[in-house]
Amino acid sequence: MAGLEVEPQRFVTLTRKPTTEYQAYHHRMPMLVHIDQAKAWLSNDQLARESLERP
């Protein structure tokens, strides 16, 4: 699950539009970042931006 620390001891969970299978449960779903991609996602602004824009 993707999140950011915005202040010491305070975090924000990143959400996105749900996939078709999760749409029935809620209008948003947490961002999911595979462990193998986490370091690249955190260090590459373009990659992070593109993943946030993908449906």
pLDDT of residue 41: 80
Q: How far from 31 is each of 16, 25, 55, CA to CA, in Å?
A: 6, 15, 11
CA gyration radius for the chain? 12
pLDDT of residue 26: 94
Confidence of residue 55 (pLDDT cuts 50, 70, 90): low
Residue range 15-50, pLDDT digits in tens: 888 999 999 999 999 988 888 888 888 888 888 888
pLDDT of residue 24: 95
Look at the chain and report how many structural domains it folds into: 1
Structure tokens, 51: 């993943």
Range of the domain at 8: 3-53
